[in-house]
Structure 1
Amino acid sequence: MLKTFALFVVTALAEIVGCFLPYVWLRQGGPAWLLLPAAASLALFAWLLTLHPAASGRVYAAYGGVYVATALLWLRWVDGVRLSVYDWGGAGVALCGMAIIVAGWGRASG
């Protein structure tokens, strides 16, 4: 489970960076060349999702929990926004959902 979680965190960072760089370009007047690493990051994100042994829908569902927590940490560390108790609680619930889904990968059919 720890390996899966770590891979999901790297996947989430690739997705967030791939979306953040165009945001910097469009909203903050960043240079257009930021779109190149953004595209590469989104391609990496898609490839990383294929590395899991479960059916794609289960991978996406479990990944969503880690994405929520990672996005909130990005909000805190990169954007400097203080997280509320509701943010932390939501992240905890999302991570519990991920753990439940991943724990069932070997037991579920399909």
Structure 2
Amino acid sequence: MIYPIYIAAALAEIAGCFSFWAWWRLDKSPLWLAPGLVSLALFGFLLALVDASAAGRAYAAYGGIYIAASLGWLWLVEGVRPDLWDVAGAALCVAGASIILLAPRGA
């Protein structure tokens, strides 16, 4: 159940950051910043929902999911297909995130 929260958080963060990118780098209207700020606030809220014993561990595991989601954004939104190295790197990161998330830990 934790992966959907991480995926939603990643999409919210990427969308929020992309709004700043669009305004700054793509010469879009400053109005792009308003939904971007809302999206970044949603990201923070979603990441806080993760049931983890320590914030740092939740953030570390999130990093791997974020990398994979960023490549999905690259392909679906920006129209740039990830190459073999992108996919291999993302798979490695998701594996690492899964080890952090699913490792058996004592109470």
TM range (shorter): over 0.9
Q: Percent identity?
A: 43
Question: Gaps spanning 5+ residues in structure 2: where?
Answer: none
Q: Which residue of 2 aligns with 1:87?
A: 86
CA RMSD of aligned residues (A): 1.2
Aligned positions, number: 106
Q: TM-score, normalised by structure 2?
A: 0.93
Q: CA-to-partner distance for each residue in 1:28-81, whole Å, 9 max, x for gaps? A: 121111111111111111111110121100100000000000001111111111
1:7-86 map, 5 Å: 7-54=5-52, 55-86=54-85
Q: TM-score, normalised by structure 1?
A: 0.91
Residues 77 and 108 of structure 1: is their aligned pair in 2 closer, same or farther, counting only changes over 3 Å?
farther
Q: Which residue of 1 aligns with 2:98?
A: 99
Q: Give the distance between the partners of 1:41 and 1:100, measured in 2 at CA.
A: 28
